[in-house]
Chain A
Amino acid sequence: NAGVTQTPKFRILKIGQSMTLQCTQDMNHNYMYWYRQDPGMGLKLIYYSVGAGITDKGEVPNGYNVSRSTTEDFPLRLELAAPSQTSVYFCASTRQVLYNEQFFGPGTRLTVL
Chain B
Amino acid sequence: GDSVTQMEGPVTLSEEAFLTINCTYTATGYPSLFWYVQYPGEGLQLLLKATKADDKGSNKGFEATYRKETTSFHLEKGSVQVSDSAVYFCALSKGFGNEKLTFGTGTRLTIIP
Which residues of A line the B interface, CB within 8 A? 4, 31, 33, 40-45, 48, 50, 56, 58, 90, 92, 94, 96, 98-107
Q: Is the CB of B43 within 8 A of A90?
A: yes
Give the residue among B34, B44, B46, B104 with the most A Cβ atoms within 10 A.
Answer: B44
Q: Which chain B residues (24-65) contact chain A, with CB distance < 8 Å?
A: 32, 34, 41-46, 49, 51
Q: Is B73 an interface residue (CB 8 A)?
A: no
Give the chain B neighbours of A102 by CB distance below 8 A.
Answer: 44, 46, 99, 101
Identify which of B42, B46, B89 contacts A42 (C-beta below 8 A).
Answer: B89
Identify which of A4, A48, A106 contacts B98 (C-beta below 8 A).
Answer: A48
A-facing mask of B86-112, CB < 8 A → 1, else 0?
000100010101111101111000000
Q: Is the CB of A40 within 8 A of B100?
A: no
Q: How far is the CA of A31 from the CA of B101 in the complex (A)?
A: 12
Q: How far is the CB of A17 from chain B (nearest CB, A)?
A: 25
Give the chain B neighbours of A106 by CB distance below 8 A.
Answer: 41-43
Give the chain A neighbours of B95 by CB distance below 8 A.
Answer: 98-99
Q: How far is the CA of A102 from the CA of B99 in the complex (A)?
A: 9
Identify which of A31, A41, A101 contacts B46 (C-beta below 8 A).
Answer: A101
Q: A50-B98, A100-B99 are in contact. List 14 more A-B contacts (CB 8 A).
A: A4-B43, A33-B100, A33-B101, A42-B4, A42-B89, A43-B103, A45-B100, A58-B100, A92-B43, A99-B32, A101-B49, A102-B44, A104-B45, A105-B43
A-facing mask of B66-102, CB < 8 A → 1, else 0?
0000000000000000000000010001010111110
**A104 and B43 contact, Cβ closer than 8 Å, known pairs A41-B105, A42-B89, A99-B32:** yes
Q: How far is the CA of A42 from the CA of B88 in the complex (A)?
A: 10
Considering the complex, give the chain B residue whose CB is closest to the CB of A106.
Answer: B43
